[in-house]
């Protein structure tokens, strides 16, 4: 459900460098001496938390970084990785808490390196380490949900209005399975669900999506989406001394690998879906996230009307691709299916309540914020 399970349904070679090889790579490519490093979780890339013992070039800065070694499939599209990294740098300069790259010895933001398997090549970056606690590990409340919605809108608005790069066209990822416009592509992976009540609901989501969302896409306002603001990709810290009632603020935005051209309403739908996952009141989440989003980018009537099916569509994407992945990689099946149980429960509940009742709950909660906005 979170990015750790949201793998792409394609054949790729995940890097498998040893810790010794990773440390040597940091020294050779970036000119930094590693004090220690440890692996970080990732499905299709390989990540290490790296602590360095001092910069060889004498520059000031953080001494902890994330070494990101991209899988062989995505490494074949350097323009895409380039523009994603430049977007991170742009957002950091705009005041968003996103990582920035440490330059290679030859002054580049990334380097294509020979992999550990055959002749596979992997794009390598060293990114600043962002401290904080993933949203998945805190008890979310209305205040932080509102802030996450506000962040989602502010991020997309900044990218849409101010971000320019020669390779930005590479974000038009027509068949990218995680772009919300591509929910109908799930039909080729739905076999993995078998024949059961879950499959019937997903088929219903896909059909309604094709009938009610796809024809309206041209009326939605376009932008660049982060595309994966899930509960593990948003970090928070507490700016409150109260341990019993901490006030959280967003301290980090991770993983820009799902960036693509989309629509403002896609981003808020994705954020709502992922914030529902761990919430004790999943159907109550949407109104708070929506209120935060609309404090920056109010949705049109057409966009609001599609929100239920867009949230349902993201659930379907996550659940179907998790099931497909479990078929491809059966050793991960237990892990994938445990995580999916919550998602299936929420999707089924949404459809049992129906679009009208769910929207009423979301929109009434959001409306209440017009009279009272969180501090």
SS3 222: strand
Q: Which string of DSSP letters, residue by residue, matches 108-176?
A: -S-EEEE-SSTT-EEEEEEEE----EEGGGS---HHHHHHHHHHHHHHHHHHHHH---TTGGGG--TT-
Region label for 354, one of left (φ > 0), alpha (ψ between -120 and 50) or beta (otherwise): left
DSSP letter at 194 equals -
Q: How far apart are CA 54 and CA 84, in angstroms?
A: 28
SS3 223: strand
Written as six digits, the tokens of 47 are 């990540």
Written as six digits, the tokens of 37 are 């490093």
Q: Which of 305, 266, 271, 264 has the alpha carbon at shortest distance from 286?
A: 271
Q: How far apart are CA 311 and CA 114, in angstroms?
A: 40
Question: Quick check: is 44 catalytic?
Answer: no
Check 74, 156, 228, 255 and give the catalytic one.
228
Residues 6+ apart with CB under 8 A from 215: none
Residues 6+ apart with CB under 8 A from 242: none
Residue 302 parent element (H or E): helix 301-328
SS3 318: helix
CB 299 within 8 A of CB 289: no
Strand partners, 126: 67, 102
Q: Which stretches does DSSP call E strand in 193-327?
A: 222-225, 234-238, 248-253, 260-263
DSSP letter at 213 equals I
Residues 6+ apart with CB under 8 A from 207: none
Annotated active-site positions, please? 228
């Amino acid at each position: 459900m979170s990015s750790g399970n949201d793998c792409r349904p394609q054949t790729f070679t995940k890097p498998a460098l040893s810790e010794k090889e990773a440390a040597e790579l940091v020294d050779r490519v970036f000119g930094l001496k590693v004090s220690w490093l440890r692996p970080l979780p990732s499905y299709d890339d390989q990540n290490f938390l790296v602590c360095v013992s001092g910069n060889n070039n004498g520059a000031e800065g953080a001494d902890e970084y994330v070494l990101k070694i991209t899988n062989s499939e995505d490494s074949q599209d350097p323009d895409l990785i380039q523009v994603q990294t430049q977007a991170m740098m742009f957002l950091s300069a705009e005041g968003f808490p996103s990582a920035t790259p440490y330059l290679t010895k030859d002054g580049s933001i990334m380097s294509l390196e020979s992999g550990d398997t055959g002749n596979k090549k992997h794009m390598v970056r060293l990114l600043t380490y962002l401290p904080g606690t993933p949203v998945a590990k805190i008890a979310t409340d209305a205040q932080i949900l509102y802030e996450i919605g506000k962040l989602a809108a502010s991020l997309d608005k900044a990218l849409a209005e101010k971000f320019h790069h020669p390779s930005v066209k590479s974000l038009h990822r027509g068949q990218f399975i995680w772009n919300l416009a591509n929910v109908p592509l799930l039909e080729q992976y739905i076999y993995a669900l078998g024949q059961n009540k879950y499959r019937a609901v997903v088929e219903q989501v896909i059909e309604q999506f094709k009938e009610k969302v796809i024809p309206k896409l041209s009326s939605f306002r376009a932008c660049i989406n982060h595309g994966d603001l899930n509960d593990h990709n948003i970090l928070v810290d507490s700016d409150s001394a109260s341990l019993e009632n901490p006030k959280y603020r967003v301290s980090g935005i991770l993983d820009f690998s799902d960036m693509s051209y989309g629509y403002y309403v896609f981003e808020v739908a994705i954020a709502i879906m992922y914030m529902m996952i761990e919430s004790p009141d999943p159907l109550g989440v949407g109104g708070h996230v929506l209120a935060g989003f609309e404090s920056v980018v109010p949705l049109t009537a057409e966009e609001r009307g599609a929100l239920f099916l867009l949230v349902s569509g993201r659930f379907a994407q996550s659940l179907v691709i998790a099931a497909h992945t479990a078929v491809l990689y059966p050793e991960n099946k237990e892990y994938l299916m445990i995580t999916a149980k919550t998602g299936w429960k929420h999707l089924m509940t949404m459809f049992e309540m129906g679009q009208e009742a769910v929207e009423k709950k979301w929109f009434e909660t959001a409306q209440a914020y017009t009279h009272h906005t969180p501090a």
